[in-house]
Amino acid sequence: MDITGTRALVTGGATGIGKAIAARLREKGAEVAIMGRRREPLEATAAELGAIALPGDVSVEADCVATVAACVERLGGLDILVNNAGYGHFAPLVEMEKADFEAVMATNVTGAMLMAREAAKQFVKQDSGNIVNIASTSGLRGGKGASAYSASKFALRSLSECWRAELRPSNVRVIHVNPSEVLTDFAAAAGYQQQAAPNKLIGEDIAHAVVSALEMHDRGFIPELSVWATNPF
């Protein structure tokens, strides 16, 4: 697709991978709306990128419905949804609290479903559209302490497959992206330390992969791709 003139909505768009994707889409000529829970950084990023700030929490159904509707109204339509909003909690199984586990699922799984549901209504109506789910290589292989996060990303991968099967007859492309470790503020928010290094991935690398996949001609699409650092050690 030619991204120039398209309308995109990026969840978790104020910082990190989401901000990088929104910036790349703007560079390519898309009109972009970004969604996030924290109003101040969201509005600052929107002002920086020339995007529209739509405050909201993907784990709240009413926010998802209102945000997609507002995006369609303010941009005059919607062509791309990037499900990027994500939350991490890491703990051994024997220390896992039910509330923490459910909070991860509420954002990473239920939130992605709610946003995709609302966007898909628009996409089916117009017989075109793109859903990009930002998952993780943790959704390909689990690890110690990652019960909640890894399970949520395995679930998102399953959702991508289901939506792909349902929406292809309506010319809707569902693209599933698995980043490995990316240097963002995600680690600090999830409660673990991340060692910065120039050979590790940054948000712009994931943005490049997403936009490159979207730019394929509409007659084809990349169902799933993983992005690894060449040598992060």
> Which residue among the candidates 121, 144, 149, 200 is catalytic per the annotation?
149
Please answer whether residues 73 and 79 qualify as being in contact, where contact means their C-beta atoms are separated by less than 8 angstroms. no
Q: Which of 98, 153, 192, 200 is catalytic?
A: 153
The tally of CA atoms less than 13 A away on the side-chain side of residue 123 is 29
Helices (H) and strands (E) in the chain, counts: 8, 9
Q: 55 phi and psi, to 5 degrees? A: -60, 140
Q: Which two tokens stand for residue 193?
A: 């330390």
E strand segments, the chain: 7-11, 31-36, 52-55, 80-83, 129-134, 172-179, 182-183, 201-202, 224-227
153 given a catalytic annotation: yes
Q: Which run of H or E residues covers position 62?
A: helix 61-75
SS3 content of the chain, % helix, strand, coil (to 5): 50, 20, 35
Question: Active-site residue 19, yes or no?
Answer: no
End-to-end CA distance of the chain: 36
Residues assigned a catalytic role = 149, 153
